[in-house]
């Protein structure tokens, strides 16, 4: 069971989900990438992550392996979609 919440980082929204079974917060990778790369909108962030994710997979990066798919609410239409999410400990 997950609870999704929007949290702010430098006044930018980041979708988060609390996973009760693991007692861990997960963060939307697209939102974090969008903020860190200063993307103008969610579509730019999504495309940036898509390209980066493919490159990381080719390199065999552990980061992509540590991503989980969690249902999070879309900022565009409010529906819940599977979203790449990662815990802070997995982002190292």
pLDDT the model gives residue 91: 55
pLDDT the model gives residue 2: 58
pLDDT the model gives residue 89: 64
CA distance 90 to 81: 21
In the chain, the number of structural domains is 1
Q: What is the pTM of this model?
A: 0.82
As a whole number, mean pLDDT of residues 28-35 equals 94
CB 25 within 8 A of CB 17: yes
pLDDT tops 60 at residue 63? yes
pLDDT tops 70 at residue 73? yes
CB 20 within 8 A of CB 33: no
As a whole number, mean pLDDT of residues 3-31 equals 85
In which domain, by residue range, is 25 found?
2-91
pLDDT tops 70 at residue 50? yes
């Amino acid at each position: 069971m997950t609870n999704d919440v929007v949290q702010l980082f430098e006044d930018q929204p980041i979708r988060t989900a609390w996973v009760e079974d693991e007692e861990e917060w997960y963060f939307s990778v697209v939102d974090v990438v969008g903020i860190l790369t200063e993307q103008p909108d969610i579509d730019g962030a999504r495309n940036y992550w898509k390209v980066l994710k493919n490159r990381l997979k080719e390199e065999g990066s552990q980061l992509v392996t540590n991503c989980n798919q969690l249902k999070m609410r879309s900022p565009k239409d409010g529906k819940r979609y599977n979203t790449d999410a990662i815990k802070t400990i997995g982002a190292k």
